[in-house]
Amino acid sequence: MNLRLFRSSVALPTVAVVLLAVLASCQKSSGSGQASGDACTDEFRAGQPTSSVSGTRLLCRDQYIALYDPARKVPLVVGEHLETSELGGSEGRTNNFAPDPELPQGERAELADYRNSGYDRGHMAPAADFHGGATEMSQSFYLSNMVPQNPELNRGLWAGLEGATRNCAKTVGGLYILTGPIFEGRERTIGPDRVAVPSSVYKIVVSGNAARAFLVPNRSVPKTSNFSRYETTVDEIQTASGLNFFPQGGVNTQQRGNFCAGSYGG
């Protein structure tokens, strides 16, 4: 902006207002693009999780946030603040899987990577959480919100865990949810872009200062409604993932929460 154009005709306070408006416009995230710093971190319970992995990107969506690893081409953690008001929408599931338009080729998974791979495109933030509008439903199908997931797990126990978490959110009036992959042992990949296959997947559910943390191997496991058999502590998942999920503190990471026993089976 050339301020000399304003000097003779605009008072200084007016110029200040214009500048502040321009800066605010530049700093505000679009909701579907990338963000940095504290932008769009309202989906996280206690600040943006930190990772031992370098080169990560923070992808800001309308109703979730992904801390994304362009080397593995999967998210390391996806955060949602799931409120009860978001669970009553009428937007239908689209199945419109797509590469993330905010990421360049070479840093993202493509549809061809999953084709004939033997793995599902496993949502981290599930589509069933996003019936509030077409944009948020569409964003849930970006491949940057996916990991290669065992089909029986994805369609069985994991789908049940997602449903139990929605029921829990209705019970307690809203939750913070963190979901992502764990990579242990020899790392496998799929497709021409070498999308990393996790050894297990986790889901951390936070109500107030308490957290329930579930860690499930990425393989076929018996379908059950007793999810407590896969329960662990947040600290154990932090150690396995190299992430600090709550850098601002205020969440008990050493003890298992006991809320929503009816949803999780214990």
* Per-residue pLDDT of the chain in tens (266 residues, 90 and over written 9): 443 333 333 343 433 333 333 333 333 333 334 443 345 767 788 888 989 898 999 999 888 999 999 999 999 999 999 888 777 766 677 788 999 999 999 999 999 999 999 999 999 999 888 877 788 888 989 999 999 999 999 999 999 999 999 999 999 989 999 999 999 999 999 999 999 999 999 999 999 999 999 999 999 999 988 999 999 999 999 999 999 999 888 999 999 999 999 999 87
Both 85 and 168 in one domain: the answer is yes
Based on the domain organization, do 16 and 115 belong to the same domain? no
Domain co-membership, 186 together with 101:
yes
- Rounded distance between C-alpha atoms, residue 36 and residue 188, angstroms: 30
Q: Which helix (H) or strand (E) holds 164?
A: helix 157-172
Q: What pLDDT does 134 receive?
A: 84
Residues 5 and 98 occupy one common structural domain: no
Number of structural domains (the chain) is: 2
The answer on 61 and 110 residing in a single domain is: yes
Give 231's Cβ-side CA count (13 Å radius): 20
How far is Cα 95 from Cα 120, in angstroms, rounded to an integer?
12
Task: For residue 91, give the 3-state DSSP assignment.
Answer: coil
Tokens read off for 29: 């995230």
Whether residues 220 and 231 share a domain: the answer is yes
Q: What is the CATH number of the domain that holds 233?
A: 3.40.570.10
| Whether 43 and 56 share a structural domain | yes
Q: Which of 30, 71, 77 is CA-nearest to residue 58?
A: 77
Our measurement of the distance from residue 242's CA atom to the centroid of its chain's CA atoms, rounded to an integer in Å, reads: 16
Indicate whether 137 and 225 sit together in one domain.
yes
| Residues involved in catalysis | 123
Report whether 154 belongs to an annotated binding site: yes
Same domain flag for 132 and 15? no
Structural domain that includes position 18: 1-30
- Report yes or no on whether pTM surpasses 0.75: yes
pLDDT of residue 249: 87
pLDDT at 15: 34
Instruction: Give the strand order in the sheet containing 175-182.
Output: 34-35, 57-60, 65-69, 74-82, 175-182, 200-207, 210-217, 231-232
Q: Are 111 and 99 in contact (CB under 8 A)?
A: yes
Residues 126 and 86 in one domain: yes
Instruction: Give yes or no for a contact between 100 and 138, defined as CB atoms under 8 angstroms apart.
Output: no
Question: Are 78 and 196 found together in one domain?
Answer: yes
Same domain (yes/no): 13, 102: no
CA distance 68 to 75: 4
